Structure 1
Amino acid sequence: MKKVWIYLENGIFLEAKSFGSEGTKVGEIVFNTSMSGYQEIISDPSYAGQFITFTMPEIGNVGVNKEDMESYGAFAKGIIVRNYQRRYSNFRAEDSLENFLKKFDVMGICDIDTRFLTKVLREDGSQMMIASTEISDQEELKKILENSPRIEEINYIKEVSAKKSYIHKSATYDARVFRYKEPPEAKAKIVAIDFGVKRNILNNLTEAGLEVEVIPQDFCVEELIERFEKGEIDGVFLSNGPGDPLILKDIHEKIKKLIEKKIPMFGICLGHQLLSISHGYPTFKLKFGHHGGNHPVRNEKTKRVEITAQNHNYNVPENIKDIAEVTHINLFDNTIEGLKYKNSPIFSVQHHPEASPGPHESAYIFKEFADLVIKHKDSK
């Protein structure tokens, strides 16, 4: 393994070992507390532009396989792990994590104190960093980092979104027989706007009884409204995705037009944030974000606590309560996790109810969306 040198914007300079792709990369460093599912995390498009620090110390031990991909690639700048296991052992494994990272140009960093890094991020917050297998001089790395664009200045959804529309046909994965379930008969049709959508979100929408057409992020809103008014589609889903939602100004304007037409809509993560902004309530950045598979969220209607998967750095403001009912609350920091807009067939959640692998307590949310869309369709 080659040496790799790391410089954080708070001045910390570290040396570690490299696996995966080589070179010099700049991105935002965050930490993820999930105990399993590293391939799903790395292939989640919402991590575009970021270095993922895994708090789970052993990574690579189960290899990788095609079935566990959450998208068609991997868009993170790199991953940071305590121990990388080159010798993988799992009956589903098809290749090593190292080869996977090289294939998608993702840097791998190991033999580093990830507990220390996590504490730094918890105290100082998520921040920009640079990692290089070519440059060892601290001052040179600092200069490159200072002259590089920040993650909140880059529109990553153009990179991760589908380039053309398609129909998604698979349902959720059945681990008992190691294959995807046959989707049920569709009772309504929706369009999923792809800002970096995870495959298992689409699987859950299909399994809920919806025909799902995925469209790119540069969609024509007038065409979408026309299709809704003609009865060709019955609702719209706004997907998860990477980066700062405030810079997506053209998307805000399009969503405003969908809101005005009272089209049934459901958003997850970035979609949740975009709905808030489009209603006139800008998001704010959390200190170190929520990234992991163990976040307790309280359903405000049932008062049940659901363990959820999370991946976001931004959150909706408290004053959105003026126009929306808060449906879910994060019990770690009391931030808003779910909203139902007043006098509109629109709701959203900040967490990931599809969670694969991970907790399934929030999977009912997909059925709630399907019920909403079907009810609205039948009332027309």
Structure 2
Amino acid sequence: MSNFKKAWIYLENGMFFEARSFGANNTAVGEIVFNTSLTGYQEIITDPSYAGQFICFSMPEIGIVGTNPQDVESSNIFAKGILIRHYNEKYSNFRANKSLGEFLNFHNAMGIFGIDTRLLTKTLRKEGAMMMIASTEYSTKEDLQEILKQSPRIEEIDYIKVVSTQEPYHHKEGRFSFKTMNYTLPQTDKKILAIDFGIKKSILRELVAAGFSVEVIPHNFKAEEIIKRYQSKEFDGIFLSNGPGDPKVLKNQIIEIQKLIANNIPIFAICLGHQLLALAQGYETYKLKFGHHGGNHPIQNLQTKKIEITAQNHIYSVPEDIAKIATITHRNLFDGTIEGLLYKNAPICSFQHHPEAGPGPLESSALFNEFSKLLQKT
């Protein structure tokens, strides 16, 4: 441990820690949340929905399988960094080509270990997600406290501009096959436009696997252009992706989504997209105390009564009174929050959890096929 540079952490509740750094040498401010997944740390840290956040892993041993080119959800790490108990610098995996520390350094993200992550997780459960600062440059509580005080809060920042694609592109890769060590090719039937608010690669692969031809477009779309293309039968439906931050920050996107809804275009949405749909329909989202982050969250499908274990990554939720215009199809069994909606006034379905589960269980992956069935009816 003495070979690693010292790092210092200060939380806005006054907690102060000294630990060690195995990632980029930096000073960064972000919101700290905890993740309960036992595996899949590379997919988690490359999920654009973590932009502006520090991820505290409740799993104590991290780094064992290294990193590889396949298990990434985006081209970068948008999270500020990760906090872990034990770091395993020596990795063992036939696909790995970098250690986790090398991967973090390459993407200029912080990695901090030697900290009591159990204490951090229990604190976040009790007090809620909060802002924090981590540094390999400043060592005093007073310096860190002052920098944190002067920094904007995560809900004040629009991270969508950073994580979204700048140009439209077509995604053609399906699921990864370990037999061929390659990605399956699409069997296209219907075409959809995927609006990128921070879309994960595994979502795009599941859309392709469900039979869709997928065109990805940037977050700053214009509804008028999309409506013209829909009327010309250039595509069959729209997908609203996951993404980081407070959905209420995206005022322009909410207005544009309202126009899409008014034209009765079929829409399928996950996570942030699910929240944006609620706001576009006039229903206020709210922030959860510490959110849902991990690959072991139980939900109930209220239509089939079956229990599904799901992957989740969100800290905002939609309100109960949205049941006036939508049928609640899924509920979280931890806290009863809404996980799925089927709108009554339009061909729209949306889900708070991640059916693509990158990483996590695939018990909800059939939702991609359900949207395909919805399009067949329109």
Separation in 2, partners of 1:46, 1:97: 20
**Please, which of 73, 79, 101 is the counterpart of residue 98 of structure 1?**
101
**Please, which of 5, 9, 30 is the counterpart of residue 8 of structure 2?**
5
Separation in 2, partners of 1:175, 1:290: 30
SS of equivalent residue, structure 1 residue 275: helix
Report what 2:235 is aligned to: 233
Report what 1:56 is aligned to: 59
Separation in 1, partners of 2:113, 2:180: 35
Report what 1:192 is aligned to: 194
Task: Say if 2:174 is the partner of 1:174.
Answer: no
Separation in 2, partners of 1:293, 1:47: 15
Separation in 1, partners of 2:176, 2:70: 9
Task: Say if 2:121 is the partner of 1:115.
Answer: no
SS of equivalent residue, structure 1 residue 218: coil
SS of equivalent residue, structure 2 residue 123: helix
Assess if the C-alpha contact under 8 Å between 1:187 and 1:374 holds in 2: no
How far apart are residue 140 of structure 1 and its match? 1.4
How far apart are residue 31 of structure 1 and its match? 0.2
Q: Deviations over 1:230-250 (max 9, x none)?
A: 111111000000000011100
- Aligned amino acid, residue 79 of structure 1: I
Report what 2:159 is aligned to: 156
Assess if the C-alpha contact under 8 Å between 2:186 and 2:213 holds in 1: no
Assess if the C-alpha contact under 8 Å between 2:311 and 2:359 holds in 1: no
Separation in 1, partners of 2:239, 2:73: 17
- Aligned amino acid, residue 35 of structure 1: L
Unmatched runs of 5 consecutive residues or more in structure 2: none
SS of equivalent residue, structure 2 residue 206: helix
SS of equivalent residue, structure 2 residue 373: helix
**Please, which of 345, 348, 372 is the counterpart of residue 343 of structure 1?**
345
Assess if the C-alpha contact under 8 Å between 2:7 and 2:135 holds in 1: yes
Q: Deviations over 1:283-310 (max 9, x none)?
A: 0000000000000000000000000000
**Please, which of 310, 313, 316 is the counterpart of residue 314 of structure 1?**
316
Task: Say if 2:29 is the partner of 1:26.
Answer: yes
Report what 2:293 is aligned to: 291
**Please, which of 20, 25, 33 is the counterpart of residue 17 of structure 1?**
20
Separation in 1, partners of 2:181, 2:337: 37
Separation in 2, partners of 1:346, 1:330: 20
- Aligned amino acid, residue 324 of structure 2: D
Task: Say if 2:72 is the partner of 1:72.
Answer: no
Provide the aligned length of Structure 1 versus Structure 2. 375
Report what 1:281 is aligned to: 283
Q: Deviations over 1:50-108 (max 9, x none)?
A: 00000111111101011001111110000000001100111110111111101111100
Q: Deviations over 1:100-125 (max 9, x none)?
A: 10111110000111000000000000
How far apart are residue 143 of structure 1 and its match? 1.0
Task: Say if 2:43 is the partner of 1:40.
Answer: yes
Task: Say if 2:164 is the partner of 1:141.
Answer: no
SS of equivalent residue, structure 2 residue 22: strand
Task: Say if 2:159 is the partner of 1:128.
Answer: no
Q: Deviations over 1:124-175 (max 9, x none)?
A: 0000000111111111111110110000000001000011000000111223
Which aligned pairs between 1:319-334 and structure 2 lie closer than 5 A?
319-334=321-336
Separation in 2, partners of 1:298, 1:173: 28
Task: Say if 2:93 is the partner of 1:81.
Answer: no
How far apart are residue 343 of structure 1 and its match? 2.5
Q: Deviations over 1:265-289 (max 9, x none)?
A: 0100000000000000010000000
For normalisation by structure 1, the TM-score amounts to 0.98
How far apart are residue 179 of structure 1 and its match? 2.3
How far apart are residue 45 of structure 1 and its match? 0.2
How far apart are residue 23 of structure 1 and its match? 1.5
Which aligned pairs between 1:203-242 and structure 2 lie closer than 5 A?
203-242=205-244
- Aligned amino acid, residue 370 of structure 1: S
- Aligned amino acid, residue 92 of structure 1: R
Aligned-CA RMSD value: 0.8
How far apart are residue 176 of structure 1 and its match? 4.2
Separation in 1, partners of 2:286, 2:266: 26
- Counting aligned pairs with the same residue, the percent is 61
Assess if the C-alpha contact under 8 Å between 2:67 and 2:97 holds in 1: yes
For normalisation by structure 2, the TM-score amounts to 0.98
Separation in 1, partners of 2:59, 2:178: 23
- Aligned amino acid, residue 50 of structure 1: Q
Assess if the C-alpha contact under 8 Å between 1:167 and 1:214 holds in 2: yes
